[in-house]
């Protein structure tokens, strides 16, 4: 499992960049197009993009220290459960 402590970097590199073209971003993103709260809300919606992102996150496997708390972390933790 990959350990994550920087949620902003995780949002950019693991959520937004891999499927950025699905949102119409052709240039490489240097920062997430949405904040962490909006990102978590978008991932909770059932869409092709959210399924792709969450399936990828589950396949890679990520863990977070207990002190990192955010709805995005809760969603990833739930996704990683068998």
pLDDT confidence tier of residue 80, bands split at 50, 70 and 90: confident
pLDDT in tens, 21-59: 989 999 999 999 999 999 999 999 999 999 999 999 999
* Rounded distance between C-alpha atoms, residue 55 and residue 18, angstroms: 12
Q: What is the pTM of this model?
A: 0.91
Q: Does 82 score more than 80 pLDDT?
A: no
What lies within 8 Å, CB to CB, of 22 at 6+ separation is: 48, 49, 52
> 63-77: b or e for each residue (b if 16 or more CB lie within 10 Å)?
ebeeeeeeebbebbe
Q: Considering only CA atoms, which of 3, 1, 2, 8 is closest in space to residue 72?
A: 8
């Amino acid at each position: 499992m990959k350990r994550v402590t920087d949620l902003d970097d995780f949002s950019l590199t693991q959520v937004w960049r891999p499927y950025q073209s699905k949102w119409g971003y052709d240039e490489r993103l240097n920062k997430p197009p949405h904040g962490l709260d909006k990102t978590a809300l978008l991932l909770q919606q059932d869409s092709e993009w959210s399924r792709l992102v969450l399936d990828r996150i589950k396949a890679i496997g990520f863990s977070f220290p207990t002190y990192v708390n955010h709805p995005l972390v809760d969603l990833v933790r739930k996704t990683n459960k068998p």
